[in-house]
Amino acid sequence: MSGADYSQFSMLDLFRAELETQSQALTSGLLALERDPVSAQSLDACMRAAHSLKGAARIVDLTPAVEVAHAMEECLVAAQRGRLSLSREHIDTLLKGVDLLGSISSEPASADESAKLEIAGFLLALEQASSPSTAKVLTVSETELAGSNAAPQEAPWASSAKETGVLARSEPLLQPYGGVGSDRMVRVTADSLNRLLGLAGESLMEARRLRPFTGGLLRLKRIQSDLAIAFDVLGDALAEIPKDDRAVQALAEALQKLRLSQTFLAERLNELDSIDRRATDLANRLYDETLASRMRPFEDGVRHYSRTVRDLGRTLGKNVRLDIVGGSTGIDRDILDQLEAPLGHLLRNAVDHGLETTDERIAAGKSEEGVIRLEARHNAGLLQIIVADDGRETI
């Protein structure tokens, strides 16, 4: 749907759109922090994403999401200020927070005990990961949670969650559908894009219909030129016979009108040729832009595999990183969607069977971290997708 269609969106829909964007930034940033825990750029990107989600959740009065995003933000701020050194345990917990925000947004009205318990467990896990030496070993049971309305205990570095009600409208929702930047995003349905592409194609065909019409007028111009020659021949013939003043005058007037019509036709042909060039150029640009709107950067459709590869590697006792090459390569969104299943299978296969365990890599003189390369590029009009790993060689 177009930007105007956002009037039909609920605030919760806008929050979900914001979550979709910011969760990608959070996941990418957290995976980068796992490799470089003190990266100022990654810390700042993650902190800003968590802060944006907290403000967005406040606008829609989604208190559980506010609590989760607030705890994540405070943890990242502590790491930014040097009060906390991010470990792999922190990254695991923060990634679970991203997943938890998605669950909350999908069922915002859910207030069952299991949901409360999951949020309380996340906050407790983040507290214990951040303060392992001072954290109390607490257990939260469903019975205790049902019997108490107290908010889950926050990390010692977190500010009071009571500010939620006070600041419920103090932070504007980031605009997922617009803004002052030139790279603002809108949500458009695939059907709308297909219709727009069809109309752009029709406009291109209609613009090209001017060319045959111009050709017909050029033929008329040639006929007029032949007619002018015929008048010249007639004038020469009349000069050899006794002059008839009326005939000579009529011939002169006809010749003058012919010259005027030739001039007029030449001027209109020049104008029509200019209109034809501009209309064709505009129709071509419209078609190209519409076609480009159907394209998505390759990285947009495969970025989530970084998390998938990382988590699968951890499950198998392997330290794995996914490198995406050619992320800006434009791919038709329908084709990109169709690549989801085969790429997922290839990447899981590379993690499971292509890469060695950490001990095997060290014994082979390799780095502990295995790398899978996912590359996209256009070659001779074809799209090439390459999946490669630096694991064991097979014969």
Helix boundaries (H) for the chain: 11-35, 40-59, 63-80, 88-106, 113-130, 142-146, 163-166, 190-208, 210-239, 245-293, 298-302, 305-315, 333-338, 340-349, 358-363
Distance of alpha carbon 16 from alpha carbon 60, whole angstroms:
11
Are 208 and 25 a contacting pair, CB within 8 Å? no
Are 359 and 319 a contacting pair, CB within 8 Å? no
Asked whether residue 180 carries a pLDDT value surpassing 80, the answer given is no
Beta bridge partners, 378, equal 383
Unique residue bearing structure tokens 């803004």: 179
245 CB-near residues (< 8 Å, 6+ apart): none
The gap from C-alpha 214 to its chain's centroid, in whole angstroms, comes to 42
Half-sphere exposure of 79 (CA within 13 A, CB side): 30
* Tokens (6 digits) for 182: 């030139």
Asked whether residue 28 carries a pLDDT value surpassing 50, the answer given is yes
Strands 369-379 and 330-332: unpaired
* Tokens (6 digits) for 89: 């345990």
185 CB-near residues (< 8 Å, 6+ apart): 21, 176, 177
pLDDT digits (tens, 9 = 90+) for 343-393: 999 999 999 999 998 888 999 889 999 999 999 999 888 899 999 999 877
Of residues 116, 23, 128, 125, the one with CA closest to residue 64: 116
Give the confidence band of 184 by pLDDT, cuts at 50, 70, 90. Answer: low
**Distance from first CA to last CA of the chain, Å, rounded?**
51
Helix (H, G, I), strand (E, B) or coil at 375: strand
Are 362 and 368 a contacting pair, CB within 8 Å? yes
User: What is the per-residue pLDDT for 392?
Assistant: 79
Helix (H, G, I), strand (E, B) or coil at 388: strand
Half-sphere exposure of 66 (CA within 13 A, CB side): 23
Give the confidence band of 187 by pLDDT, cuts at 50, 70, 90. Answer: low
In this chain, the answer to whether the domains covering 3-181 and 297-389 adopt an identical fold is no
Asked whether residue 142 carries a pLDDT value surpassing 70, the answer given is no
Count other C-beta atoms under 10 Å from residue 184's C-beta. Answer: 12
43 CB-near residues (< 8 Å, 6+ apart): 29, 33, 76, 79, 80
* Tokens (6 digits) for 250: 């009529």
- Going by the DSSP 8-state scheme, the letter that residue 6 receives in this structure is G
Which residue type is seen at 38?
Answer: V
- The pLDDT > 70 percentage for the chain reads 79
- C-alpha dihedral over 19, 24, 27, 30, to 10 degrees? -100
Domain boundaries, the chain: 3-181, 193-293, 297-389
Domain 3-181 -> CATH class: mainly alpha
Which CATH code is given to the segment(s) 297-389?
3.30.565.10
Count other C-beta atoms under 10 Å from residue 369's C-beta. Answer: 15
Unique residue bearing structure tokens 């969104």: 333
Average pLDDT of the residues of the chain: 78
Asked whether residue 160 carries a pLDDT value surpassing 70, the answer given is no
Region 68-75: what's the mean pLDDT?
91
Tell me the whole-structure pTM to 2 decimals: 0.58
pLDDT digits (tens, 9 = 90+) for 247-272: 778 888 888 888 888 888 888 888 88
Which residue type is seen at 299?
Answer: E
272 CB-near residues (< 8 Å, 6+ apart): 210, 213, 214, 217
CA distances from 48 to 43, 44, 53, 300 (A): 9, 6, 9, 20
